[in-house]
């Protein structure tokens, strides 16, 4: 089958089965182009909660499909490849979190959405990179906070809020490699660019300090924050420090813009597992179903709903 035939068949089956396709900003260009909605993890959770469809084909990674299943238990959630995992979500297990909680019994647990349903069930508040500061600020001042699993996002939130936060030692294998060396090199090469940096990056803490010390355009954003910045900026040159999949959407949005990846090697192999052929098979055979058992979903829903109420 040609790509065009695959895409036509996807559209036909989507209509027949009353399905929607949700895709993360890091997905392959051809997947973003057939999606009904492309966004960051917060936007995708919000869509999953309100979308009017019987089937959600989730083009992203496993924890995102799980989140959709938790908030929309009556919809059939499909992920086109079950191996699309996340190194960050794997960096904290529910057992590890339970032990951490019992060593800090009065603390409030804030977990990034990049976690398994089991970890969410042990969590008080979920957050994403676009709302982590706001979520922490909503918690009473006198409370100590356990923040996990991403240490770079944790450090960012701690310095933005000045709160008493213990941070889990987890990271994303793609973003942690984006460090200060890449950053300083690009600053010299592109002095007039806006620098848009995801808080999961290894350089995010030093970037924050630099943005305070120098008069330069460094902004720390979730993927959707980057999209909004580029949409509204008068500049037309941007250095992008996150997974390179987002460049497709940025270039579509601002064909006049110059977009330079901080590192061309920032590729999440899990996001790239989703292909057109697998999306077609997902719709054809209604595979692979991601269903969080209701007992677990009931507990995991609480921190997600708290988050969605705050933002």
Q: Which residues bind ligand SF4 (CB under 6 A)?
A: 61, 86-88, 114, 172-175, 243, 268, 270-271
Question: Residue 212 phi/psi, 5° resolution?
Answer: -80, -35
What 3-state DSSP class applies to 239?
strand
Q: Which of residues 63-122 bind ligand 13P (CB under 6 A)?
A: 114
For residues 226 and 207, what is the distance between their CA atoms, to the nearest angstrom? 15
- At CA 22, angle to CA 242 and CA 250, rounded to 5? 40
DSSP string, 86-154: -TTGGG--HHHHHHHHHHSTTPEEEEESSS-HHHHHT-SEEE-TTTHHHHHHTS-TT--EEEESBHHHH
**Residues paired with 37 in a beta bridge:** 22
Q: Which of residues 198-237 bind ligand 13P (CB under 6 A)?
A: 200, 222-223
| Cα–Cα nearest to 176, from 190, 155, 147, 193 | 155
For residues 91 and 86, what is the distance between their CA atoms, to the nearest angstrom? 9
Closer residue to ligand SF4 (CB): 53 or 220: 220
- Cβ atoms 198, 223 nearer than 8 A: yes
Query: In the complex, what is the shortest distance from the CB of residue 204 to ligand 13P, in angstroms, rounded to a whole number?
Result: 12
Closer residue to ligand SF4 (CB): 173 or 251: 173
Per partner kind, with CB cut-offs from 5 to 8 A, the member of ligand SF4, ligand 13P, none near residue 128 is ligand 13P
Closer residue to ligand 13P (CB): 43 or 80: 43
Question: Applying CB under 6 A, does 40 fall inside the site for ligand 13P?
Answer: yes
Query: In the complex, what is the shortest distance from the CB of residue 174 to ligand 13P, in angstroms, rounded to a whole number?
Result: 7
Query: In the complex, what is the shortest distance from the CB of residue 261 to ligand 13P, in angstroms, rounded to a whole number?
Result: 14
What 3-state DSSP class applies to 247?
helix
Q: Tokens representing 2?
A: 């040609």
Query: In the complex, what is the shortest distance from the CB of residue 78 to ligand SF4, in angstroms, rounded to a whole number?
Result: 18
User: In what helix (H) or strand (E) does residue 78 lie, and over which residues does it extend?
Assistant: strand 76-78
For residues 200 and 148, what is the distance between their CA atoms, to the nearest angstrom? 12
Binding string, 129-158, against ligand 13P, x = CB under 6 A?
x-----------------------------
Q: Which of 32, 116, 128, 193 binds ligand 13P (CB under 6 A)?
A: 128
What 3-state DSSP class applies to 77?
strand
**Closest residue by beta carbon to ligand 13P:** 40
Closer residue to ligand 13P (CB): 97 or 246: 246
Query: In the complex, what is the shortest distance from the CB of residue 75 to ligand 13P, in angstroms, rounded to a whole number?
Result: 21
| Cα–Cα nearest to 109, from 168, 45, 176 | 168
Query: In the complex, what is the shortest distance from the CB of residue 60 to ligand 13P, in angstroms, rounded to a whole number?
Result: 8
Closer residue to ligand SF4 (CB): 153 or 230: 153
Question: Applying CB under 6 A, does 172 fall inside the site for ligand 13P?
Answer: yes
Closer residue to ligand 13P (CB): 76 or 229: 229
Per partner kind, with CB cut-offs from 5 to 8 A, the member of ligand 13P, ligand SF4, none near residue 270 is ligand SF4
Q: Which stretches of the chain bind ligand 13P, using CB under 6 A? A: 25, 40-41, 114, 128-129, 172, 175, 200, 222-223
């Amino acid at each position: 089958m040609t790509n065009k035939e695959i895409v036509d068949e996807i559209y036909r089956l989507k209509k027949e089965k009353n399905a929607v396709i949700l895709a993360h900003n890091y997905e392959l260009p051809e997947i973003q182009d057939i999606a009904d909605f492309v966004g960051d993890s917060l936007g995708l959770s919000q869509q999953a909660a309100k979308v009017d469809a019987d089937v959600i084909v989730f083009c992203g990674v496993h924890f995102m499909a799980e989140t959709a299943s938790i908030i929309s238990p009556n919809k059939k959630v499909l992920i086109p490849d079950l191996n699309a995992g996340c190194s960050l979500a794997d960096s904290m297990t529910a057992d590890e979190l339970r032990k951490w909680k019992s060593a800090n019994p009065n603390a409030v647990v804030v977990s990034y959405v990049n976690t398994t349903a089991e970890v969410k069930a042990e969590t008080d508040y979920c957050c994403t990179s676009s709302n982590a500061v706001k979520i922490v600020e909503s918690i009473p001042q006198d409370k100590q906070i356990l923040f996990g699993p991403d240490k770079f996002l944790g450090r960012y939130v701690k310095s933005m809020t000045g709160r008493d936060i213990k941070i889990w030692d987890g990271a994303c294998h793609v973003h942690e490699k984006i460090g200060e060396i890449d950053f300083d090199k690009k600053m010299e090469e592109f002095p007039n660019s806006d620098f848009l940096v995801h808080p999961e990056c290894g350089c995010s803490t030093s970037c924050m300090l630099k943005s305070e010390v120098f008069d330069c355009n460094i902004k720390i954003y979730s993927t959707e924050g980057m999209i909004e910045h580029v949409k509204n900026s008068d500049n037309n040159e941007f250095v992008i420090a996150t997974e390179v999949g987002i460049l497709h959407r940025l270039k579509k949005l601002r064909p006049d813009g110059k977009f330079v990846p901080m590192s061309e090697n920032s590729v999440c192999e899990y996001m790239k597992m989703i292909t057109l052929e697998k999306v077609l098979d997902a719709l054809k055979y209604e595979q692979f179903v991601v269903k969080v058992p209701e007992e677990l979903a009931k507990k995991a829903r609480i921190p997600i709903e708290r988050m969605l109420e705050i933002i």
